[in-house]
Amino acid sequence: MAIYQATTSAPVNIACIKYWGKRDTKLILPTNSSLSVTLDQDHLRSTTTSRADPTFKKDTLWLNGQEEVIKDGGRMATCIAELKRLRKELVEDKDPDAPKLSTFPVHISSFNNFPTAAGLASSASGFAALVSSIATLYALPCDASALSLIARQGSGSACRSLFGGYVAWEQGTSPTGEDSYAIQIAPQSHWPDIHALICVVSDDKKGTSSTSGMQRTVETSPLLQHRIKHVVPQRMADISKAILERDFDTFAKITMADSNQFHAVALDTEPPIFYMNDVSKAIIALVVEYNRVAVLKTGKVKAAYTYDAGPNAVIYTPKENVKEIVQMIIKYFPQKEAFKDVFGIFGVQGVQGAVVDGFNEAVAKPFDVGAVKGLIHTKVGDGPRVLGDEEALLGPDGIPKTLA
Amino acid sequence: MAIYQATTSAPVNIACIKYWGKRDTKLILPTNSSLSVTLDQDHLRSTTTSRADPTFKKDTLWLNGQEEVIKDGGRMATCIAELKRLRKELVEDKDPDAPKLSTFPVHISSFNNFPTAAGLASSASGFAALVSSIATLYALPCDASALSLIARQGSGSACRSLFGGYVAWEQGTSPTGEDSYAIQIAPQSHWPDIHALICVVSDDKKGTSSTSGMQRTVETSPLLQHRIKHVVPQRMADISKAILERDFDTFAKITMADSNQFHAVALDTEPPIFYMNDVSKAIIALVVEYNRVAVLKTGKVKAAYTYDAGPNAVIYTPKENVKEIVQMIIKYFPQKEAFKDVFGIFGVQGVQGAVVDGFNEAVAKPFDVGAVKGLIHTKVGDGPRVLGDEEALLGPDGIPKTLA
């Protein structure tokens, strides 16, 4: 008997124009468009294997080897149901010979190669991998934008992980959400020079979840509506143009301003929401000072910080600056473990903390080891990849290999 | 020969609707109206003695016993010149027998009874004391609003320290600033029950000065204009009504929302400005949780936090709640020195850290001794006071007694 199975991986994305607020919480329709950089799956990815089999008892999901309940009417169930509907309408109803996979239960095993403790949102890459895996299994004749409509209903920002490179999520206007999908502004190959340094910041307390936090902002922040109507549209246009022109200075300034404004509307919420802590703020102070020196020398900034709904910093920069930035971060935030130099920029002598000439070292105080508990160096990357069966996460019996 | 001398004291004020942004930096005309509570001079005050004498060589100022340069064209010189002009126009030109004090140099000695290290802005009480002292010396027939026009040119928020109780600074519209002055919304006696607990928060780094910070916000924050035009006017009306109705619930909610929004627009500035640190945020979390419990029990909040351009918290609350709040703060922020119980609310057994029933203790983690390095308990107070010569700060020779 045939085995119907597909394995794909999908990338993490980090927004430059932030998504914060839904106009429809069920369909996950945002109050503003957003734009992100897709990060390289060679470093950070979710991998998902899905298999359809008539002998399976029910749709079942394992996440990192643990079975997760698929709640009726929940986001996961919605995604699976949508994909089954497309399989039936676009494949089975048109080709009587196509196997009726839409009627078979699916087993899904998904794995993130980055620890949850890293504080990186895994829902975007996770739902993107799930949707691309089942879409491959079902041989859906859909492009990435069409699939992004489904991933969006799993986790809003997941829709942007269906593409590599530089990706916009168009908010759309339809109440059905049919025009709220991701599009690629530019592929990775257009501007491959953008690198990312993720500073994993230690945090004592559990923050407000983005799902509940953003709706509190929608309900209580007087500033959010102004952001939505009068700030984001222009920024979307401007940063898209900057990407097409590979204009890092403009890209960076908009990225930093929009990170700040997202955290500003979170703070304008009742009660206020804080995602950045004193370590996050010290990293901002370092990047601001690093850019001040760069502007004095060249008239342009060299790095952009951005913060999602947590204390971690992501610093975007052209590759040539990564070395200086890692040295700067390590000077103020000594690391317990050696920097994982995946791009080989430091050579055998390893990393020493240092700042560039003219840098005012008093802009931040050095922290103890562990304040920044990890540094991940990656770069702009491609979209979901279809993997071979040798990378499948499900064993012959249809349960995760790790459980066999 | 007659001695022409006057001594006054003036209070600190802490805003509920924040002043942030100037439309005229020379005249100190604000981009929005603001509103504050005047704190009791029994606890926090600036005291100023001024003396006019034809034998003095020049206008001279001592601040806390140190001579300060009176810069030509600076804020201090502007205030003194304005007061001399009023002396001449309103007194000397009308009464030929009045001594020509406007032609005499003045010696001014000013003293703050709270340490600079407390992180409390002394410019408001300082300029209010200076203006009221010289106005008394000059016997100016001016009401407090008229004097507030002069104090405003020393330090914007100083204009509000010319009144006790609950005070608005009307932004005005005239380019000359003639309609940008303070008015009293209600005297202290209207609502004497409002107490204030100042949590003096330890801070490693020097923050952005409010003078430069607010103008950076004016120049770069897309959200500030929305705040100015569409948020503050309604809040001014609503909080004034709440004060007149002694409606603490509304007063508190607006106060907290406006503190948050001020810090939000600071964060929306390029580069972003942060005044609150992790300790400030933990105090917010405690007040939010304390209010959550209160709302469950009574439907109304019991405390309001507010933060100026620094990490210190000021918590406003009706007197009956002060005990619970001090216990809560001390539980999370153990104190090196015993709480100075100026209102005798704890009795001989002293303060023990505690939280109210139903309080979720996990909303913040306890900090080490010194994170909050002092607690000052005070209440709404009166306006500037004219003091007797026995409290004068200048000796018979016209120099500060402390230097004699």
Chain A contact set for B260 (CB, 8 A) = 267-270, 272
Residues contacting B192, CB < 8 A, separation 6+: B379, B380
Task: With residue B199 as reference, give the H or E element that holds it.
Answer: strand B194-201
* pLDDT, tens only, A160-195: 999 999 999 999 999 999 999 999 999 999 999 999
> What single DSSP character describes residue A27?
T
Q: Are residues A209 and A167 in the same domain?
A: no
Three-class HEC string of B114-167: CCHHHCCCCHHHHHHHHHHHHHHHCCCCCCHHHHHHHHHHHCHHHHHHHCCCEE
Mutation target to probe the B interface, by most B beta carbons within 10 A, among A18, A216, A217, A226 is A226
Looking at the structure, do residues A201 and A182 belong to the same domain, yes or no?
A: no
Contact state of B261 with A268 under an 8 Å Cβ cutoff? yes
Over residues A243-269, the pLDDT tens digits come to 999 999 999 999 999 999 999 999 999
Grade residue B208 by pLDDT with cuts at 50, 70 and 90: confident
The pLDDT tens digits of the residues spanning B245-279 come to 999 999 999 999 999 999 999 999 999 999 999 99
In a domain, residue B342? The reply is yes
Domain co-membership, A329 together with A245 = yes
The enclosing domain of A36 has a CATH number of 3.30.230.10
Band (pLDDT 50/70/90 cuts) for residue A117 is low
User: For residue A301, what are the domain limits?
Assistant: 194-379
What is the pLDDT, as a whole number, of residue A157? Answer: 97
Q: Is the pLDDT of residue A40 over 80?
A: yes
Residue A118 clears pLDDT 70, i.e. is over it = no
Average pLDDT, chain A: 96
Helix (H) or strand (E) holding B47: strand B45-52
Contacts of B281 in chain A (CB under 8 A): 274, 277
pLDDT at A38: 98
Q: How far is B124 from chain A (nearest CA, A)?
A: 26
Instruction: Give me the residue label for tokens 């643990």.
Output: A66
- pTM value is 0.95
What is the DSSP secondary structure assignment for residue A316, as one 8-state letter?
Answer: E
Mean pLDDT of the A49-65 span: 97
Q: Residues of chain A with pLDDT > 90: what percent?
A: 93
* Local confidence band at B215 (pLDDT 50, 70, 90 cut-offs): very high
Residue of B nearest to A281 (CA): B274
- Residue type for position A258: D
Q: Which residues of chain B approach chain A closer than 8 Å at the C-beta?
A: 204-205, 222-223, 226-227, 230-231, 253, 256-257, 260-261, 263-265, 267-272, 274, 277-278, 281, 284, 288, 364-365
Query: Do you know the residue count of chain A?
Result: 404
CB contact under 8 A, B267 and A269: no
* Domain CATH number, residue B374: 3.30.70.890
For residue B325, what are its two tokens? 């709040």
Write down the pLDDT at residue B115: 75
The reply to whether A243 and A181 lie within a common domain is no
pLDDT at A110: 97
- Mean of pLDDT values over A219-239: 98
Domain-embedded: residue A27: yes
Whether residue B401 lies inside any domain: the answer is no
Do residue B107 and residue B224 come from a single domain?
no
Across the range A205-234, mean pLDDT stands at 94
The confidence score (pLDDT) of residue A202 equals 82
B270: chain A residues, CB-CB within 8 Å:
253, 256-257, 260
Smallest CA–CA distance, residue B155 to chain A, in Å, is 27
Radius of gyration of chain B (CA): 22
The answer as to whether B404 is a domain residue is no
Closest CB to B204: pick one of A226, A256, A365. Answer: A365
Which of B205, B267, B281 has its CB closest to that of A263? B267
In a domain, A397, yes or no: no
Q: Partners of A50 in the beta sheet?
A: A6, A108
- Burial of B296 (C-beta count, 10 Å sphere; 0-12/13-18/19+): exposed
**Is it true that the peptide bond before A271 is cis, omega within 30 degrees of 0?**
yes
B302 in any annotated domain:
yes
Lowest mean pLDDT among A310-319, A343-352, B218-227, B328-337: A343-352
Instruction: Indicate whether A1 pLDDT > 80.
Output: no
Peptide bond into B271 cis (omega under 30): yes
Counted domains in chain A: 2
pLDDT digits over A263-305, tens only?
999 999 999 999 999 999 999 999 999 999 999 999 999 999 9
Report yes or no on A360 lying in a domain: yes
Check whether residue B153 and residue B242 sit in a common domain: no
Check whether residue B218 and residue B170 sit in a common domain: no
CB contact under 8 A, B270 and A284: no
Q: Do A271 and A354 belong together in one domain? A: yes
Distance between B396 CA and the closest CA of chain A, angstroms: 46
pLDDT > 80? residue A365 = yes
Q: Assess whether A183 and A199 both reside in one domain.
A: no
Mean pLDDT of A57-79: 96
Residue B67: strand, helix, or coil: strand
pLDDT tens, residue by residue, B88-124 = 999 999 999 999 999 999 999 999 998 766 667 789 9
How far does the CA of residue B286 sit from the closest CA of chain A (Å)?
Answer: 11
Residues B146 and B233 in one domain: no
Let me know whether B173 and B213 are in one domain.
no
Query: Same structural domain for residues A100 and A215?
Result: no
Burial of A113 (0-12, 13-18, 19+ CB in 10 A): middle
What is the pLDDT confidence band of residue B2, given thresholds at 50, 70 and 90?
confident
CB pairs under 8 A between A and B: 81
Residue A197 has pLDDT above 70, yes or no: yes
Contacts of A36 (CB under 8 A, 6+ apart): A13, A14, A15, A16, A17, A157, A160, A166, A167, A169
The pLDDT of A42-49, averaged and rounded, is 97
The per-residue pLDDT for A404 is: 66
Q: What φ, ψ does residue B237 adopt, rounded to 5°? A: -65, -45
Token pair 């996440």 is found at A63
Amino acid A120: pLDDT: 77
- Residue A402 has a pLDDT of 81
So what's the pLDDT on residue B402? 82
Q: Would the CB atoms of A223 and B231 count as touching at under 8 Å?
A: yes
Residue B111 lies in a domain: yes
Residue B38's pLDDT is what? 98
Query: What are B368's two structure tokens?
Result: 């080490």
Q: How does strand B34-38 pair with strand B13-17?
A: antiparallel
